[in-house]
Amino acid sequence: MANVADYNVANASGASVRSDINNILQAVVTLNSGTSEPSTMYPFMIWVDTTNNVVKMRNGANDAWLTMPFAMNASDTAPAGLTVSGGDLTVDTSTFKVDITNDLVAVGTSSPSSYNSNTRNFVIRDSGNGGMTISTGASSSGFIAFNNGEDTTLEGLIQYNHSTNALSFRTNSVDDRLVIDSSGNLKNTAGTDLYHDLFADSGTDQGSASLRFYTDGSSDNQNVATILMQQESGGGSQQKGEMYFQVSDNSAPATALQILNNKAIYGRSGIYSYYDGSNHVAIRGLSGGNYIQYGSGTALSFVAIDTFPNSGASTKMTLDTSGNLLVGTTDSETYSNVNGVVSAAGGYLIARRSSGVSLIQNRYNSEGYITYYKYSGTTVGSVSVSDGATAFNTSSDGRLKDVTGEAKGLEVINKLNPVSFNWKSSGKSAQGMIAQEVLEVMPECVIKDGENDYYQMDYSKLVTPLVKAVQEQQEQIEKLKQEINEIRGN
């Protein structure tokens, strides 16, 4: 290998001319190889730089060398399909591309610069499925490393260990921040299953771990929500955990929901739910006091005491499993002598009180009806009030009646047997009728109680025969008065 000062054959003797010709031929056949560039250069001259082991070509302006993108020595050969254009290296059009201008490398595409500017330094393109394989020994590891400078430090690392079949992640130069083992379990730095350790010792320390949520990362980046998990204060080695859901409202996140010991749920708004092993649930204020209680298969209760569960006198209202609503009592029995009000699922009301009024109806600012009584949806009676009286009304419209004759008067009244008596239950004296006797004379006044088999009477239905009896007596009086006047000669 050699290069020459120039390619001129000087006028000289035969030996000198032959020497110049031989030197020129030697330079041509060895492509001007040498440790330094030829002293005389021509456009498109080729020079093998043996110092850097590269092939160079002089440009057309003969003012610079172009370095070919491959080495040239005794053991190297140029690959098939290798082309150089504008300083870029291309193999078979799009099989392999080196974009020297933009420092990009691509496989399967000739235009890596068209991809995302953050991820196009190395592009793998396939019109179908694509991918990259890192193949190592059976007991070795494959790595994808992240480095922020030109040194050996690896701030981030993804490693697959073939000996353990585990995939691990390094962050901030710390290995195994997260590990997926061969069974698919997530593990943390300590190598334990990723429940996220609370780091509490076996004493009374209170360990905790949290998941925080921040805004978009701008200069005013703020913690807007937190999920906090911790061991109960003073829990020591016991498995007593707490979970807090904290949300921000223009301030540091505050607890909106707390779950305690797998039994209780606290809400910032004052809602509290509790499980005591019998499926009881309570909703109450955080400071105690009134709450709602529910037990599996039992009633929904409203309780006015800070003791849970509770089923005593402090239960102020209950919706039982039969659909009965009990206020001031837990006893839904119809004839129970226990104070309270029951709105029965059967469609009736029970008001019980040991003394005083048990039912008050109040209409104010106007006169009118206070109660309607209906049969099959049609009003058959009512109670109305005014500023000085109460009227008990029953249907009597002529449009509802077919008149069949005159009512009976003295004929009926004379058959009735008014009596004086004492009530057996209280011993108190009273006057009235015997229902069974009236039944034989005026059956429309008597009804039999379907619950206790006792007869009852509607005394108001005696008004009609009484009116008729007065009319009949008045006729008799008028007739007697006429007869007396005739006797007296008037």
Indicate whether 275 belongs to any domain: yes
Edge-to-edge strands of the sheet including 340-343?
281-284, 290-294, 300-304, 315-319, 325-327, 340-343, 349-352
Count the Cβ atoms, other than its own, within 10 Å of residue 102.
Answer: 11
Using one digit for the tens of pLDDT, what is the confidence trace for 28-45? 777 788 888 888 888 888
Indicate whether 216 belongs to any domain: no
434 and 384 part of one domain: no
Indicate whether 219 belongs to any domain: no
pLDDT bucket at 201, cuts 50 / 70 / 90? very low
348 and 443 part of one domain: no
88 and 174 part of one domain: no
Contact between 316 and 305 under an 8 Å Cβ cutoff? The reply is: no
The pLDDT of 422-430, averaged and rounded, is 94
CA dihedral sign, ordered 467, 468, 471, 472? negative
Q: Residue 340: which H helix or E strand, with range?
A: strand 340-343
163 and 82 part of one domain: no
Q: How far is the C-alpha of 270 from the C-alpha of 267, rounded, in Å?
A: 5
Q: Residue 479: which H helix or E strand, with range?
A: helix 463-487
Indicate whether 241 belongs to any domain: no
In terms of residue numbers, what domain contains 155? 141-187
Percent of the chain with pLDDT strictly greater than 70: 77
Looking at the predicted structure, is the pLDDT value of residue 328 above 90?
A: no
Q: Residue 487: which H helix or E strand, with range?
A: helix 463-487
Q: How much is the pTM?
A: 0.46
Edge-to-edge strands of the sheet including 272-274?
208-214, 223-231, 241-247, 254-260, 264-267, 272-274
Closest CA to 412 of 445, 444, 442, 447: 442
The pLDDT of 431-451, averaged and rounded, is 93
Indicate whether 195 belongs to any domain: no
Mean pLDDT score of the chain, rounded to an integer?
80
Indicate whether 415 belongs to any domain: yes
331 and 388 part of one domain: no
Cα 168 to Cα 121, 164, 199, 267, 290: the distances in Å are 24, 11, 22, 39, 53
Indicate whether 226 belongs to any domain: no
86 and 181 part of one domain: no
Cα 292 to Cα 207, 271, 431, 433, 482: the distances in Å are 33, 10, 51, 51, 81
Q: Residue 421: what pLDDT? A: 95
Q: Residue 199: what pLDDT? A: 46
Domain count, the chain: 5
Indicate whether 210 belongs to any domain: no
Contact between 291 and 272 under an 8 Å Cβ cutoff? The reply is: yes
Closest CA to 167 of 153, 194, 176, 189: 176
Contact between 236 and 246 under an 8 Å Cβ cutoff? The reply is: no
Looking at the predicted structure, is the pLDDT value of residue 202 above 50?
A: no
Q: Residue 440: which H helix or E strand, with range?
A: helix 435-441
Q: Residue 198: what pLDDT? A: 43
310 and 272 part of one domain: yes
278 and 372 part of one domain: no
The pLDDT of 84-97, averaged and rounded, is 70
146 and 112 part of one domain: no
Q: How far is the C-alpha of 116 from the C-alpha of 127, rounded, in Å?
A: 17
Percent of the chain with pLDDT strictly greater than 90: 31
Closest CA to 317 of 333, 301, 306: 301
Q: Which residues pair with 432 in a beta bridge?
A: 419
User: Under 8 Å CB-to-CB from 415, ≥6 apart: which residues?
Assistant: 441
Q: Where are the beta strands (DSSP E) in 186-332?
A: 186-187, 208-214, 223-231, 241-247, 254-260, 264-267, 272-274, 281-284, 290-294, 300-304, 315-319, 325-327
Using one digit for the tens of pLDDT, what is the confidence trace for 355-383? 989 889 999 999 999 999 999 999 999 99
Give the phi and the psi of residue 389 in degrees, each rounded to 5.
Answer: -155, 165
Cα 337 to Cα 329, 332, 341: the distances in Å are 11, 11, 11
Using one digit for the tens of pLDDT, what is the confidence trace for 238-295? 556 778 888 887 777 888 888 776 667 777 666 666 666 665 666 665 555 566 666 6
378 and 423 part of one domain: no
Closest CA to 290 of 317, 321, 257: 317
345 and 273 part of one domain: yes
- The residue out of 167, 187, 207 marking a domain boundary is 187
Q: How far is the C-alpha of 122 from the C-alpha of 96, rounded, in Å?
A: 11
Looking at the predicted structure, is the pLDDT value of residue 219 above 50?
A: yes
117 and 33 part of one domain: yes
